[in-house]
Amino acid sequence: MMTIYQKLSALIEQAVIVQLIDVEDKIYVRNQLLGLLQLDSYTEPDTFETNQSIPDLLEALITYAVQQGVIENVFDDKEILSAKIMNLFVARPSVIHDTFYDKYEDSPEAATDYFYQLSKNSNYIQMNRIQKNIQFQADTLYGTLDITINLSKPEKDPKQLKRERALKVNTGYPKCVLCVENEGYVGRTGHPARSNHRIVRIPLTNENWYLQYSPYVYYKEHCILLAEEHRDMRIDQATFERLLTFVEKFPHYFIGSNADLPIVGGSILDHDHYQGGRYTFAMTGAETAFTFTLNGFDNISASVLKWPLSVIRLQSTTKDTLLHAAAHVLNTWNEYSDETVDIIAFTNETPHNTITPIARMRGGNFELDLVLRNNRTTEEHPLGIFHPHADVHHIKKENIGLIEVMGLAVLPARLESELQEMKLFLLGETCNVEPYHVDWANQLKEKYGKQSNEDEADSIIKKELGHKFCKVLEHAGVFKQNDVGRTAFQRFIKVLNETSNGS
């Protein structure tokens, strides 16, 4: 067993190896660590292992702190101490900002590579937890979709939940988990620890925006771009301009926004922010269903994608032309109704139409994908007409946000054990299939028969889960991938062209 001093020394050595600190920082950092762990002295170990990862060593220090009564064995205390420890290894924001832009002079990729690696090494990106996620791909009619069963966010135990009820207070600072004031914030009961959190200022269209990475990345270099001002999400022409300006600055990244309305928007609508990264989603490579001309906008290539959601793709060599064309699509869609396909723009003064936009550079051209969304509800579909319907709620009933729109499913953790029971069912073994999966299980048994091979049963479930997610996305499409839907889409494009004034 490693002693506490061996663990301390190993963590410091690993931090030197990954260039979080220099050799000259070792004694200072050691003394600060001793203070956090309430150790009054230090004994230099004769030997210590150097092949353990920073997250593993950090976890060992937290375990020691709990065992010695330095902190209570509750989620928030462990998160706060963990972030405090790693903050000792992370430079001040000004140093990171200057380093980022020094590297940007070499290339945008060098800048983001540096910041992404820093965010992983500092344990802000929770790599140990992310590795617990179940991830695979599934071939579908629309391409290869990504499936993630989300196991990375730790579940809070009853002791933690009781503590939150007793101690949680709304101080109003920071206003939300995305605000710039989270940088370096120690945390408190009910608000995450952010001592080791760093952001980089990215000026966009006369505003300061800030780049960070998601603590629980769902794909390569999953980043968040957040507004300096705490304000509600909003999709308008300024949104398109910011997105296109960002990919102009960082052409190796895509950037997109959740929609700005409930049901079809993301989980955080009260702070304007975008998500991006360095990953090619299935939607990026989607086939073209048909092309069309957008009247009045020269130098614009326009098409509709073969995709379960309703997507207009616009391309241009000229940024200004593209953002004006996108604004025309948005403004027209915001007012558009077609009751034959259940699209109604307003209920009294309440809007229902909006767009999920995604920007990227492709072959030197600016590209915008505009995903048409509508959040109207009915008695038949109380959670949303263009939202996962009841027949797929056993897989997913949460909002379909930006990540899922592009073809990456983020599915609930409960499916880990539930799908295992499904597999036992296909194998004809004793199992406990959840009631809401029974119909699906019987359908699979009828389609594939009893399985004798565990790997084959697992393959069937993964394949069919991909098809279920595909159906989830089809529910979210306002114009369906059938003759009725295509005809209705053409009617909308006709209105686009009738109301176009050009750029």
Number of domains in the chain: 1
Domain annotation covers residue 172: no
Domain annotation covers residue 196: no
Q: Which amino acid is present at 207?
A: E
Q: What is the pLDDT along the chain (503 residues), one digit of tens a residue?
A: 579 999 999 999 999 999 999 999 999 999 999 999 999 999 999 887 778 899 999 999 999 999 999 999 999 999 999 999 999 999 999 999 999 999 999 999 999 999 999 999 999 999 999 999 999 999 999 999 999 999 997 766 677 777 777 776 778 899 999 999 999 999 998 899 999 999 999 999 999 999 999 999 999 999 999 999 999 999 999 999 999 999 999 999 999 999 999 999 988 999 999 999 999 999 999 999 999 999 999 899 999 999 999 999 999 999 999 999 999 999 999 999 999 999 999 999 999 999 999 999 999 999 999 999 999 999 999 999 999 999 999 999 999 999 999 999 999 999 999 999 999 999 999 999 999 999 999 999 999 999 999 999 999 999 999 999 999 999 999 999 999 999 999 999 999 999 987 54
The whole model's pTM is what?
0.95
In 375-496 the beta strands, taken as DSSP E runs, fall at: 408-411
Domain annotation covers residue 247: no
**Tokens encoding 471:** 């159906």
Domain annotation covers residue 476: no
Pick from 222, 246, 488: nearest CA to 372: 488
Q: What is the per-residue pLDDT for 155?
A: 67
**Tokens encoding 454:** 């565990």
Pick from 224, 259, 419: nearest CA to 334: 259
The continuous run of DSSP H or E covering 322 comes out as: helix 319-334
**Residue whose pair of structure tokens reads 């968040």 in the numeric block:** 224
Three-class SS of residue 43? coil
Q: What is the per-residue pLDDT for 503?
A: 47
Instruction: Report how far residue 412's alpha carbon sits from residue 147's, in angstroms, rounded to the nearest whole number.
Output: 11
Domain annotation covers residue 102: no
Q: What is the per-residue pLDDT for 190?
A: 85
Pairing of strands 223-227, 207-213: antiparallel
Q: Which 3-state string (H, E, C) describes 63-107?
A: HHHHHCCCCCCCHHHHHHHHHHHHHCCCCCHHHHHHHHHHHHHHC
Domain annotation covers residue 395: no
The continuous run of DSSP H or E covering 148 comes out as: strand 143-149
**Residue whose pair of structure tokens reads 């069309």 in the numeric block:** 292
CA 188 to chain centre: 24
**Tokens encoding 26:** 């070792």
Instruction: Report how far residue 268's alpha carbon sits from residue 272's, in angstroms, rounded to the nearest whole number.
Output: 9
* DSSP class of 23: G
Instruction: Report how far residue 289's alpha carbon sits from residue 309's, in angstroms, rounded to the nearest whole number.
Output: 12
CA 382 to chain centre: 26
Domain annotation covers residue 33: yes
Q: Do residues 216 and 252 lie in contact, with contact meaning Cβ atoms separated by under 8 Å?
A: no
Instruction: Report how far residue 315's alpha carbon sits from residue 347's, in angstroms, rounded to the nearest whole number.
Output: 33
Q: State the residue range of the domain holding 54.
A: 1-70
Domain annotation covers residue 56: yes
Pick from 110, 108, 280, 118: nearest CA to 212: 118
